[in-house]
A and B are shown apart, each in its own frame.
Chain A
Amino acid sequence: MFFKEISPLLLNIPIVVSIIAFTRYIIGFKTWRNYPTVALALAFYIVAKLNHNFIQSFFIWLILFVFIIGSASTFKYLIRKLKINYYARSAIVYLGGTIGAILSIYIVNLLFQFAYTDEFRVFSVALILSTIDEFGAVQLIKGNIEALRRTLTSFILGLLSGILLSSAWWNNVIYKNQWILLLVLCLDFVVAFWSSLRLTELSRFSAIINRSKAD
């Protein structure tokens, strides 16, 4: 153990980012950038920490995610034809996301009696809210389909990372075996120098591969 009395949460952050890098460069899943994906994972961690019931935590997190992103996207769609300044447009989209967040808090309270009374709880909502910009940017630059794809993969990766962050067993393992971080560093280097085709590219270019085989 190198560091004593340190939260395993901190030790887990580089692991989550390594997972994002691995899935991007070796598997080929494109997600949002690191920060929004980590923010989703942290939001799940907070919900799970306060709730203790995994299934319930998942549903609460899912409702927050869908309502915030959904509401922000709806606002963005509604004002798409208004010829207004960019940052003002962003502010309106954020307002939409906040309305979605308030709605989701009511629904979560209604369904699971999980009240967002203290600031720590609200912080999970704020973390998801902070990902709105990323969704909008991907949508604008890469188009709707790519934005949807990246949102889904970020959702999956955020969930998996969130589960990892909130797993008591894993936190115990990483706390007691901090050398795992050295392994993670090695994995980072493997990923850093990985120049082969990504697994998804085998599917993307399958027609060329099959054609050259036939030749």
Chain B
Amino acid sequence: MKLLDFLTESRSKILGVNQRNQSILRKFNPPKLRKRVDDKLCTKKFLLKEFIRTPETYAVIKNENDLKKLNWDALPKSFVVKPNRGTHGNGILVFYGKNKRKNAWIRTTLELMSSEDISQHIRDILSGRFSMGNGKDVAIIEERIINHKILKPYSYRGIPDIRVIVYKGFPLMAMLRLPTKKSGGTANLHAGGICVGIDIASGITTTAIHMKGFDLIGDRYDLLEETIDEPKLQLRGIRIPYWKNVLELAIKSQMASKLGYVGVDIVIDRDKGPMILELNARPGLGIQMANQEGLLERYNLVKGKRFVSVERAIKLAKTLFGGEIEEEVETITGKEIIGLVETVIISPSEEVIDRLKAQHREKNADKPKKLRKKIKLPESQKIKAKIDTGAFRSSIDYRLAIELGYTELKQVREVFDMKFQTREEGLAKLKEYQQKLPNFEDIKDFMVARSGNGITLRPVIKAEIQIGDVKKLITFTVSDRSELNYSAIIGKMNLKEFLIDPSRTFTA
């Protein structure tokens, strides 16, 4: 049974190859559309139609004749040669400079290649050596991406790319792939590259992995804290440049491809910003290890949700899948991160409950047991409250407080209509009401407050509040908030356990 539970639990979170192929790829990625993205030239074409930027194409060589006609002198110093239908980065040559004396181009490995050497490589591409299905292929000569200054120190002689998995307009998961010395400049995990998970909400890297040595059972990974090559750099906490643009590009590319589930590979050029490198119709599952999260769980969360706009899809993804960085901050600081508007649960204090119970008992003391009515205690209220660091105290609407069982407030109903011209005037009234305090149990005090409504007199009560995982008894001033957007505000006096992130809108 334990094994069965284990399998069921794992099944609900992790996307395996079988389920990816059967439930997702077969359903949302028909072979005809898959062929379109396997063909890099075709991908460039349909992306261009949607004004989505890809590296510029210098030449397309379809046969020996095209190769003969190629004007080598017209090529820039740096360029990339790649097969049109290549996989796993095979057959890609990157040149970053030209040795004019030897009339040869310099590879990232510092090897020199003459036009004849490159022609031979192109012939291999044309014969299908590096391509899916081993059929004949086409060679593409295109622009070389120049590393962005933020990502450059982390990659060894190659261009890092960002893989975003997009399902029907919703970005599910992302990772940064870094080339290493071992991977020979490619960012492929199987070739020895490093994969670093990215927090969807913030675009900041989280956990990193690379492949363990040989294991007969299958792929195994080691968690990494630093880059493998010198200089050793911390992999956690890299802020991906243009993060919002990266997510937008990923979504737009998926939509343009018409496939339902796509791995979008994005590179960030130093001068031109993010652009699409390629689309993958069968994205690998190692991204789950890089993020230490299951893809299936995320897929299930957005399955059935209707795509409205790119902005809303990003917002939803950030809300649903973000928070890994927050968890870390919370662990380090011991404080919970909340937004400017939070869902909170407000409950009456135990004192109020006890008073209501006592009143009920008193009322029913004379009645025979059968005629006694069951007590109806006030229920906790789940509301959206404004987190207001500009206010010192928390405040609650009069009607909400009544619903919570603070019925004594009805006896001082008139204070909510009082407005004072000066603070002194208010203080005079305050003295009068403070004298009445011995008559109340729930009203703990009165105070004069200055707010947007002017100078008012407010009763003070104590109620229990739950924000996120934090539950505590706090003091509220009671006022008439019927014309305001939120029936409660939480002031800074009660926010010591929290860090405020203005980009968050609510805690689910």
> If the complex has contacts A137-B134, A195-B19, A197-B10, are A205 and B90 also in contact, measured as CB distance less than 8 A?
no
Check if B226 is an interface residue, CB within 8 A of chain A.
Answer: no
Find A28's partner among B117, B215, B218 (CB 8 Å cutoff).
B218
| B window 181-230: CB within 8 A of A | 190-191, 211, 214-221, 223
Task: Give min CB distance, A52 to chain B, whole Å.
Answer: 32
Q: Which residue, of A84, A148, A196, A205, has the highest number of chain B Cβ atoms within 10 A?
A: A205
Q: Is the CB of A203 within 8 A of B218?
A: yes
Please name the residue on chain A nearest to B121 by beta carbon: A83
Find A196's partner among B13, B18, B129 (CB 8 Å cutoff).
B18
Interface size class of A (residues with CB under 8 A): 35 or more
Check if B348 is an interface residue, CB within 8 A of chain A.
Answer: no
Q: Is the CB of A200 within 8 A of B217?
A: yes
Q: Is the CB of A195 within 8 A of B10?
A: no
Q: Which of B275-283, B287-295, B369-377 contacts A (4 or more CB under 8 A)?
A: B287-295
Cβ of A207: which chain B residues have Cβ within 8 Å of it? Answer: 221, 223, 289, 292
Cβ of A121: which chain B residues have Cβ within 8 Å of it? Answer: none
Q: Is the CB of A143 within 8 A of B191?
A: yes
Q: Is the CB of B218 within 8 A of A200?
A: yes
Check if A7 is an interface residue, CB within 8 A of chain B.
Answer: no
Please name the residue on chain A nearest to B22 by beta carbon: A195
Q: A193-215 toward B: CB 8 Å interface, digit per residue (1/0)?
A: 11111101111110111011100
Find A204's partner among B121, B127, B220 (CB 8 Å cutoff).
B220
Check if B482 is an interface residue, CB within 8 A of chain A.
Answer: no
Check if A53 is an interface residue, CB within 8 A of chain B.
Answer: no
Q: B121-133 toward A: CB 8 Å interface, digit per residue (1/0)?
A: 1011001111000
Task: Give min CB distance, B224 to chain A, whole Å.
Answer: 13
Find A208's partner among B13, B215, B216, B219 (CB 8 Å cutoff).
B13
In the bound assembly, the distance between CA atoms of A143 and B88 in angstroms comes to 9
Task: Give min CB distance, B441 to chain A, whole Å.
Answer: 42
Check if B359 is an interface residue, CB within 8 A of chain A.
Answer: no
Check if A91 is an interface residue, CB within 8 A of chain B.
Answer: no
Task: Give min CB distance, A49 to chain B, whole Å.
Answer: 30
Task: Give min CB distance, A193 to chain B, whole Å.
Answer: 8
In the bound assembly, the distance between CA atoms of A74 and B380 in angstroms comes to 75
Check if B11 is an interface residue, CB within 8 A of chain A.
Answer: yes
Please name the residue on chain A nearest to B117 by beta carbon: A83
| A window 103-155: CB within 8 A of B | 137, 140-143, 145-146, 148-149, 152-153
Q: Is the CB of B124 within 8 A of A86?
A: yes
Task: Give min CB distance, A157 to chain B, whole Å.
Answer: 12
Q: Is the CB of B120 within 8 A of A84?
A: yes
Check if B23 is an interface residue, CB within 8 A of chain A.
Answer: yes
Q: Is the CB of B288 within 8 A of A205?
A: yes
Task: Give min CB distance, A111 to chain B, whole Å.
Answer: 28
Cβ of A145: which chain B residues have Cβ within 8 Å of it? Answer: 190, 211, 214
Check if B7 is an interface residue, CB within 8 A of chain A.
Answer: yes
Check if A172 is an interface residue, CB within 8 A of chain B.
Answer: no
Q: Is the CB of A205 within 8 A of B10?
A: yes
Check if A25 is an interface residue, CB within 8 A of chain B.
Answer: yes
Check if A87 is an interface residue, CB within 8 A of chain B.
Answer: yes
Find A87's partner among B116, B127, B130, B214 (CB 8 Å cutoff).
B127
In the bound assembly, the distance between CA atoms of A155 and B130 in angstroms comes to 25
Q: Which residue, of B16, B87, B88, has the highest number of chain A Cβ atoms within 10 A?
A: B16
Cβ of A202: which chain B residues have Cβ within 8 Å of it? Answer: 7, 10
> If the complex has contacts A86-B129, A205-B288, are A141 and B90 also in contact, measured as CB distance less than 8 A?
yes
Q: Is the CB of B129 within 8 A of A140?
A: yes
Cβ of A153: which chain B residues have Cβ within 8 Å of it? Answer: 216
29 residue pairs from A and B, CB less than 8 Å apart: A28-B217, A28-B218, A84-B120, A85-B120, A85-B124, A86-B123, A86-B124, A86-B127, A86-B128, A140-B130, A141-B87, A143-B88, A145-B190, A145-B211, A149-B214, A152-B216, A193-B22, A197-B19, A198-B17, A200-B217, A202-B7, A202-B10, A205-B10, A207-B292, A208-B14, A208-B288, A208-B292, A211-B292, A212-B13
A-B pairs, 3 with minimum CB distance:
A83-B120, A197-B16, A86-B127
Chain A residues at the B interface, C-beta cutoff of 8 Å: 25, 28, 30, 83-87, 137, 140-143, 145-146, 148-149, 152-153, 193-198, 200-205, 207-209, 211-213
